[in-house]
Structures are given as C-alpha cells and as structure tokens.
Amino acid sequence: MSSRVDDLSAWRVFVTYAKTGSLVAAADVLDVEPSSVSRTIRSLERAIGQALVQHNSRPMQLTEAGQKALSRMEPVLRTHQKLIESLQTDAAATAGHIRLSVAPGFASRRIMPFLTAFKALYPNIDIDIVTGMKEPDMAKGLCEVGVLTGEPTLPGLVYMYRGRNVYLPVASPAYIARHGMPLRPIDLVKHTVYAYQGPVRPETKFLERGEIREAPVYDRVVRMADITTIRQALLADQGVGVDMPLVQIYEELTAGRLVPVMPGWMRKPEECYVVTSRANWHIRRVRLFMQWFANRMHEAFDGYEKAVSSIVGLPPKSQISSDEVFQTKR
C-alpha cells in the first residue's frame, strides 16, 4: 500500500478539493497546479483501493467512501493544525538569548558539550557566555543565569543546586620523584606552590583533613587567576597545585598524569548554585535553561567525583536535590 494513505498533506489536498468543489479552486487555495491536486487524489484512491470522488460527475460529487473520509479527516486536520500552531507559539515564547556566567576555566574547557546538548533540544534559544559575574550582578539582572560558589543571600534571587566544587592538592609524578611528597600543609614550604587567587573564589587560607585544619606554609608561591595556566604548569612538572578544582583535573588524575599530594588534606569543598533574578525567573526560556542546566551540571560533577573515587578520598556530599527551586528573601 502506498504511503500516501498516511500522509496528512495528501488528505489536506483531498479535504480542500471536497470543500471547494473543483480542481482549480483547490489548487488556488493550496498554491499548486490543478494537475497536482488531481494526482494526489488519484494516489489516495489507489492507496485505499476505493474511489473518493465521482470523476465523471459535474459538479464534483463525493462517493460514499469520500463522504466518510471527509467527515473523519476534517477534524483530524483541524486538530493537527492546532497542534502545529501551539508548538509554534511555544517556540516563539522561548526564542531569544540567555547570558550565562560561568568561571573562566570552566568556560574554556567544559562548557561546550552542555551548550551543544541544550541547543539540540531548544534550537531557538541562544546562549551567550560571559565570565566574572557576582551575586550583586545577578540581583541587578545584568546576567540572566550564573553559576555562583556559595548559597546566595541577596534579596530577589532564585537558585537551584548545581553540585559542589572539590579542590585537591596535586602534582605530577615526575615532580614528586624529584622533590618528594609533601605530607602536611607545613611541608609545602619546601616546594614551589601554585595557588589560585582571582575573582571566582578567595585564596586558600586553610587545608583540612577531617576535623583538623592547618594553614599552608609557602616559601616559593606563584599566585594567579588563570586556572588553565596553573594546570599546564603542574603537567610540566613545575610544582604543587594547592587547590586545583577537580573539574579541571579529573582526567589527569585518572590517567596518572597528576597525583594527589598531602593524602587526606584539601581545601573544604564548596556548594555551587545556578542563579537568576526573580524577574528573570518568570521568563520561560530562563526557567527551561536553569532547570535543565542545574540537573546536567549536578550529574556531571557527581561523575567527576566518581571517576576519582578510587584515587582520592572525598568528604561526604550534601543531599541537596538539583530539582528543588530556592528563593532568597525579598
């Protein structure tokens, strides 16, 4: 049987022909040639094995099968058209741009797979990446969506849990072979240390192991805001990274290109949130993106921790759900 019988566009031609009463009138409505209308009707008739119109009758008359098809297909086509219009309205309601603020290191190494996956689901929403936005910027609406470290406190914000950032002290095996393994924060005084100091988070003042807390001691320290450059220096056997984000190095840890140092010691993990202003939360495309992004990010960051679970011990995680929506006070 021809696929024409399942083709709604072919049935639309038939219904238009039946309603207008002539090939010429139907062709004018459909913006096609009259011969095209005739071929479509004939194709439908071959597909169902019955005549739909009395071809030698003037004016045009439907057969019994044609009358039955018209009564059944006309409401089907109306429902189909309403569905298309509804979907197009939804698409128009979500279309537009979203400015997303993430940490520079995450923007340069990790963000693209997330954006590609979201774009496949919502091709009419464009995501523009910015970096460096803080909580006051989000409260002012300067950026539609941002990822912030620490739970928001300023009035007028809506936020969802993204998962935690884990920070580890690491070095390359070659560096450790030449300079030895630091075992406690005080041992860092014997090493060249790379420490993050920039807009994303404060400088690491303490490292923890369970309930014990100690300040790292430096003699030779390189402080910088570019986490990618720190990672490259560590891979080049240049020193110890005191507080490397797991998201930046989990592949190197699993491959053995970097190894944990000071076993059990690390900067305290920090909970992170996907944040928007209350005004922006009422924009449908912002809600769609935030809910999708918070869940995908939570899954990804859980995956980073699982990837290194046999290499380094991590403190217990919180049980905050990435589906829950929180609001700060007005």
pLDDT values of the chain reduced to their tens digit, one per residue, 330 residues: 344 677 888 899 989 999 898 889 989 888 889 899 999 989 998 988 989 998 887 888 899 998 999 999 999 988 888 787 676 666 666 889 999 999 998 998 899 999 999 999 999 999 999 998 999 999 888 899 999 999 999 999 999 999 999 999 999 999 999 999 999 999 999 999 999 998 888 899 999 999 999 999 999 999 999 999 999 999 999 999 999 999 999 999 999 999 999 999 999 999 999 999 999 998 999 999 999 999 999 999 999 999 999 999 999 988 888 888 899 876
Name the β-bridge partners of 326.
159
Measured CA to CA, the distance from residue 314 to residue 233 in angstroms comes to 25
Neighbours of 201 (CB within 10 A): 17
| CA geometry: angle 44, 49, 51, nearest 5 deg | 70
Neighbouring-strand partners of residue 54: 61
CATH class for the domain made up of 3-93: mainly alpha
Question: Can you list the positions of beta strands (E) in the chain?
Answer: 53-54, 61-62, 96-102, 125-131, 145-149, 157-171, 192-196, 207-209, 212-214, 220-224, 240-245, 259-260, 267-277, 325-327
Which one of 3.30.1240.10, 3.40.47.10, 3.60.15.10, 3.40.190.290 gives the CATH number of domain 95-330? 3.40.190.290
Q: Is the pTM of this model over 0.75?
A: no
Q: Which residue has the tokens 């429902």?
A: 79
Quick one: how far is CA 202 from the chain centroid?
A: 27
Q: Across the chain, which distance is largest between two alpha carbons, in Å?
A: 102
Q: What are phi and psi of 150, to 5 degrees?
A: 90, 145
**Domain segments of the chain as ranges:** 3-93, 95-330
Query: Which DSSP category does 221 fall into?
Result: E
